Structure formats: structure tokens, C-alpha cells
């Protein structure tokens, strides 16, 4: 029998709501706060599972929508589940598929039953319901699974956001009824946009359902970073202190440390991998656009303060050459660097909380890798 899921809080910051902890899952311990690389189709783009383990990744996110369409959860289940299928021995989390479905604005229809949509691959019709979402995620065998929710865009009016909350709450109860309470642990999701009244109301509704963890959805969907950070600072502390708090789809390194200060434990975002594939590297001195001609003869590593394989081994000149010539190795080396940067940021955040210097750490991150300008 799999060990029960639980969060163990090891240290808290006296000057903020930041906490350092440990999540116990069927596939190992996860140190928090944690950044989860996004493995949309059972793979983190451009790197292998051995790379992820070497980087220290302990929890990877896979995408329900994409895996249900291709290769299908039945096939994955028949081959031993997603862990075995992708040869990943550590913890896995799946999203509900809701965000991807709702992003198909011209291809879907929302009803109380669920969402009818047409596949972006071949136009085939599908119906994704709360029950179906839970069944798919359990068939995949993820350690952590998400309730099916409606994620309205940032420019949605109050009436639309409120309607989404009502539907999300109703769908949450259906997800709970469908959940087998097996090895997969179900998280509820709080919506509400930037409306703090609606966010507070939805926190009460979602947290009235006793679940092992809770997430904040509907951020980083078009609002400004400042507005998002201010809202998270108000809402995250309202979630139960003895359960993991997950901020979905966020964000830059500065976004992450501000959310940690608000008490958030878990993050996922495509930013580090997507930026890597477009030649943008995160460094301790800001963003570095490696494709720029200024780096053609630069013998320095991408980040002289970084200990990743890419920075230990290769120069900016070589990385630029690979990117300019379209070599696949450019994507791997850039991705290794950006993922190391994010994972190391969380490692340093955990250490700062444990050592009682988290406020100084936040100021350091803001000063060194804020959005002020490019790396030199």
C-alpha cells in the first residue's frame, strides 16, 4: 500500500508567510517550496528524465488534455501508468485539462455537464466532464491530480467570473464523488480572477471540502505581474496552513519568490523551457538573449555564478553558434540551464527560510534578476 500523502512544515519565516517543508508522496519526498518542470506530453521538452534527475527535479507536471488525445490514457494505463511509460521514478502531478480546453475558445462549448470540444489535432468531438477528468488522471497514475475547474480569462466581467465560480464549485463536488481515494491525491482549485471578494468567497467554498491540497488558478492569464502578486499575497494565506498551496502557471523568478513570501509551496510554469527554446536564458544578472550577435565571441559562460552543466562546460559563443545554426543541442543546453536556474532558486529559497534570512533573499532576487534590464 502507498504511504499516505501529507505535508510536513519544517520551518517558517518570521517576517513573511514563507514556509519550508516536505511533501510525502507515493513516489518519494518533495522538498517545498518546489518548482515543477512542465512535461506536457509525458516529456519535458528537449531534456531526458536522466537530465531531470541530475538537476534535482522531484515533481514533474503532465498534461491531461494532451495525453487523453494522444496516446490516450487507456494505452498509458495498459503499459503500467505514466511513471513507467515515461520512465520517471519520482512524483508526478497532472492538471485537469480544463485550462487547455477553455483556451480553445472557438472549439468548445461549456455546459453544466462539462465541456464539449473539438480536438486541435483532428477536429474529433470530445466531452470532458469532472468525472472524466478524474478518471483520466487516475488512469495515468499521477501522484497528485487536480479538480476540473473553469478558468475565465483576465478580461472576463464580474458576472462571467461569478458564474465560473458557481460551476467550478459544483464540478469540485462531482470530482470528489468520482475520486477513488486510491494512490492519486486530489487538489481543489480556487478561482475568482483579481476580484478579492470573489476570491475570498471561493476559498471558503473550496476549502469547505476537506481535501489534501489546494491550488490557486486563474492567474497569469493576462493581468499585470503587480496585480497578480498583490492578489496572491491576499489570497494564498487564506488557504489551510496544514495543506500544500499550489499557484498554477506562474511565473518569473521574481513572481515565484513573492508567492513564496505569501505562503505558496508549489509552482509550475512553461516559462523556463519555452524561453530556452527561443534563446532567452535566465541568469543571476537578468535575462540573456543568447541569439544576439554581441555574444558571437564571448568566452564567458551564460552565467558565471551558475553551476549547471551548460555553464560549467560551454561558452556564450558556442551557445549562440548552436542556436544560430538551428542545432538541437542548443535547445537541450539552454533548457538545462533555465531549469537549473529555477530549481536552484527554490533550493536557495528553502535554505533562506530555514536560516531565517528570507526577506534578504527576496531583495537579492529582485535586485539581481528583476525585469530592469538584460544581463551583461
Tell me the domains of the chain and their CATH numbers.
6-269 (3.20.20.105), 276-366 (no CATH)
pLDDT at 373 over 70: no
pLDDT tens-digit profile of 87-144?
999 999 999 988 777 677 678 888 999 999 888 899 999 999 999 999 999 999 999 9
Q: Which of 343, 351, 352, 257 is nearest to 308 (CA)?
A: 343
Q: Which of 158, 96, 92 is nearest to 133 (CA)?
A: 96
User: What is the Cα–Cα distance from 376 to 144, expressed in whole angstroms?
Assistant: 40
Return the active site residues.
95, 268
What Å distances lie between residue 205 and 111, 195, 243, CA to CA?
Answer: 21, 15, 16
* Cβ 234 vs Cβ 246: under 8 Å: no
* Cβ 277 vs Cβ 305: under 8 Å: no
Least confident of 147-156, 177-186, 313-322, 324-333: 147-156
- Global model pTM greater than 0.85: yes
Residue linked to cell 480553445: 104
DSSP character for 174?
H
User: What is the Cα–Cα distance from 367 to 303, expressed in whole angstroms?
Assistant: 16
Q: pLDDT value at position 120? A: 87
* Cβ 11 vs Cβ 354: under 8 Å: yes
Task: Give me 309's grid cell.
Answer: 552543466
Q: CB-based burial of residue 359 (10 Å sphere; 0-12 exposed, 13-18 middle, 19+ buried)?
A: middle
Alpha helices (H) in the chain, listed in sequence order: 49-55, 64-69, 73-78, 82-86, 98-103, 130-140, 158-178, 196-207, 225-235, 253-261, 271-277, 309-313, 316-324, 328-354, 358-369
Give the residue-averaged pLDDT of 207-234.
96
Q: Within a 10 A sphere around the Cβ of 371, how many other Cβ atoms?
A: 11
Q: pLDDT value at position 372? A: 38
Give the residue-averaged pLDDT of 155-176.
95
Cα 272 to its chain centre, rounded Å, is: 11
Q: Which of 7, 14, 19, 1 is nearest to 262 (CA)?
A: 19
pLDDT at 11 over 60: yes
The sheet that has 19-25: what strands, in order across it? 6-12, 19-25, 28-32
Amino acid at each position: 500500500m502507498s504511504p499516505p500523502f501529507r505535508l510536513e512544515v519544517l520551518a517558517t519565516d518570521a517576517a513573511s508567510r514563507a514556509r519550508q517543508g516536505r511533501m510525502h508522496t507515493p513516489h518519494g519526498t518533495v522538498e517545498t517550496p518546489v518548482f515543477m518542470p512542465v512535461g506536457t506530453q509525458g516529456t519535458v521538452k528537449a531534456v531526458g528524465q536522466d537530465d531531470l534527475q541530475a538537476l534535482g527535479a522531484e515533481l514533474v507536471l503532465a498534461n491531461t488534455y494532451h495525453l487523453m488525445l494522444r496516446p490516450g490514457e487507456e494505452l498509458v494505463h495498459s503499459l503500467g501508468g505514466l511513471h513507467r511509460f515515461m520512465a520517471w521514478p519520482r512524483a508526478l502531478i497532472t492538471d485537469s485539462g480544463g485550462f487547455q480546453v477553455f483556451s480553445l475558445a472557438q472549439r468548445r462549448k461549456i455546459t453544466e455537464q462539462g465541456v464539449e470540444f473539438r480536438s486541435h489535432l483532428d477536429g474529433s468531438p470530445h466531452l470532458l466532464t469532472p468525472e472524466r477528468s478524474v478518471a483520466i488522471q487516475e488512469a495515468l497514475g499521477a501522484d497528485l491530480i487536480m479538480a476540473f475547474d473553469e478558468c475565465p480569462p483576465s478580461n472576463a466581467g464580474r458576472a462571467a467570473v461569478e458564474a465560473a465560480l458557481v460551476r467550478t464549485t459544483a464540478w469540485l463536488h462531482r470530482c470528489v464523488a468520482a475520486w477513488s481515494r486510491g494512490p492519486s491525491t486530489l487538489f481543489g482549485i480556487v478561482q475568482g480572477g483579481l476580484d478579492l471578494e470573489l476570491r475570498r468567497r471561493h476559498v471558503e467554498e473550496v476549502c469547505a471540502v476537506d481535501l489534501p491540497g489546494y491550488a490557486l488558478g486563474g492567474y497569469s492569464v493576462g493581468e499585470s505581474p503587480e496585480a497578480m502578486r498583490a492578489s496572491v499575497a491576499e489570497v494564498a494565506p487564506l488557504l489551510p496552513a496544514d495543506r500544500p498551496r499550489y499557484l498554477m502557471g506562474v511565473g518569473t523568478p521574481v513572481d515565484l519568490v513573492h508567492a513564496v513570501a505569501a505562503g505558496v509551496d508549489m509552482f509550475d510554469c512553461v516559462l523556463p523551457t519555452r524561453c530556452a527554446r527561443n534563446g532567452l536564458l535566465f541568469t543571476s544578472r537578468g535575462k540573456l538573449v543568447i541569439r544576439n550577435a554581441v555574444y558571437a565571441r564571448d568566452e564567458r559562460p551564460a552565467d558565471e555564478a551558475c553551476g549547471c552543466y551548460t555553464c560549467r562546460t560551454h561558452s556564450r559563443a558556442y551557445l549562440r553558434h548552436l542556436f544560430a545554426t538551428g542545432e538541437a543541442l542548443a535547445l537541450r543546453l539552454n533548457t538545462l540551464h533555465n531549469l537549473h536556474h529555477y530549481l536552484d532558486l527554490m533550493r536557495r529559497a528553502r535554505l533562506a527560510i530555514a536560516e531565517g534570512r528570507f526577506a534578504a533573499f527576496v531583495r537579492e532576487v529582485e535586485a539581481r534578476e528583476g525585469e530592469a534590464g538584460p544581463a551583461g
